[in-house]
Chains A and B, each alone.
Chain A
Amino acid sequence: MDINKTQLEALAKEEPKKFKRKSQLEMIWIRYKKNKLALFGLAVFLIIVIVSISTPLFIDYRTQVIKQNIMDKFQTSSAAHILGTDQFGRDILCRLLWGARYSILCGLGVMVLSLSVGAVLGASAGYFGGIYDQIIMRVLDVFFAIPMTLMAISIVAAFGNSIPNLIVAISLGQIPKMTRIIRSSVITLKDQDFIEAARACDTKKSRIIFKHILPNAMGTLIVEGTLTMGKSIILIAGLSFIGMGIQPPAPEWGAMLSEAKNYMLNYPYLMYAPGIAIVLTALSITLIGDGLRDALDPKMKN
Chain B
Amino acid sequence: MAKYIVKRLILIIPILLGISIILFTIMNLTPGDPAQMLIGDTYTEDALVQLRSELGLDKPFLVRYANYMLDALRGDFGISYRTRNPVFAEVFSRFPHTVAITFLSIIIQLVVGVIVGIVAAVKQYSVMDTVSQSITMVLASVPDFWIGLMLLLLFSVKLGLLPLSGIASWQGYILPAVAVALPYMANLIRLTRSTMLDVMRMDYIQTAQAKGVPKKKIIFKHALKNALLPVVTIAGVNISWMLGGTIVIEQVFNIPGIGSLMIQSIRNKDTPVVMATVMFIAVLSCLINLATDLIYAAIDPRVKAQIKG
* A interface list, Cβ under 8 A from B: 138-139, 141-143, 145-150, 153-155, 157-159, 230, 234, 237-238, 241-244, 254, 257, 261, 264-265, 268, 271, 275, 278-279, 282-283, 286-287, 302
Contacts and interface: CB of A to CB of B under 8 A. Distances in A.
Contacts of B244: 147-150
Interface in B227-281: 240-241, 243-245, 247-248, 251-252, 262-263, 266-267, 274, 278, 281
A146 B241 CA distance: 9
B145 interface: yes
Given A147-B240, A234-B141, A282-B142, 9 more contacts: A145-B282, A146-B282, A149-B248, A150-B247, A154-B26, A154-B278, A237-B145, A264-B152, A279-B138
Interface of B: 14-15, 18-19, 22-23, 26-27, 29-30, 137-138, 140-146, 149-150, 152-153, 157, 194, 197, 240-241, 243-245, 247-248, 251-252, 262-263, 266-267, 274, 278, 281-282, 285-286, 289
A153 B265 CA distance: 12
Given A154-B278, A286-B137, A145 B19 contact: yes
Contact of B143 (A143, A147, A159, A234): A234
Given A145-B19, A146-B19, A271 B281 contact: no
B286 to A, nearest CB: 5
Contacts of B30: 157-158
Contacts of A302: 194, 197
Contact of A158 (B14, B29, B137, B285): B29
B187 to A, nearest CB: 12
Contacts of B140: 286
A299 to B, nearest CB: 15
B141 A154 contact: no
Contacts of B247: 149-150, 153, 242
Given A148-B241, A243-B267, A159 B29 contact: yes
A149 B241 CA distance: 8
Contact of B22 (A146, A153, A282): A146
Chain B CB count within 10 A is highest, among A155, A238, A261, for: A238
B141 A230 contact: yes
Contacts of B197: 302
Contact of B153 (A139, A155, A264): A264
A241 B259 CA distance: 13
Chain B CB count within 10 A is highest, among A143, A147, A243, for: A147
A230 to B, nearest CB: 7
A145 B17 CA distance: 12
B26 A155 contact: yes
Nearest to A159: B29
B274 A257 contact: no
A133 B185 CA distance: 34
Nearest to B153: A268
A265 B146 CA distance: 15
B26 to A, nearest CB: 5
A261 B252 contact: yes
A138 B157 CA distance: 49
User: Closest 3 interchain pairs by CB?
Assistant: A147-B244, A149-B244, A142-B18
18 contacts: A138-B14, A139-B18, A142-B22, A146-B22, A146-B282, A149-B245, A149-B248, A150-B243, A154-B274, A158-B30, A234-B141, A237-B146, A238-B144, A242-B145, A254-B145, A264-B149, A271-B153, A279-B146
A254 B22 CA distance: 28
Contacts of A261: 149, 252
Contacts of A143: 22
A299 B235 CA distance: 27
A159 B23 CA distance: 13
Contacts of B27: 154, 157-158
A279 B289 contact: no
B141 A238 contact: no
A238 B157 contact: no
B18 A241 contact: no
B274 to A, nearest CB: 6
Nearest to B25: A158
Nearest to A283: B141
A147 B241 contact: yes
Nearest to B134: A37
A147 B282 contact: yes
B281 A147 contact: yes
A244 B251 CA distance: 12
B143 A237 contact: yes
A244 B266 contact: yes
A111 to B, nearest CB: 16
Contacts of B241: 147-149
B149 to A, nearest CB: 6
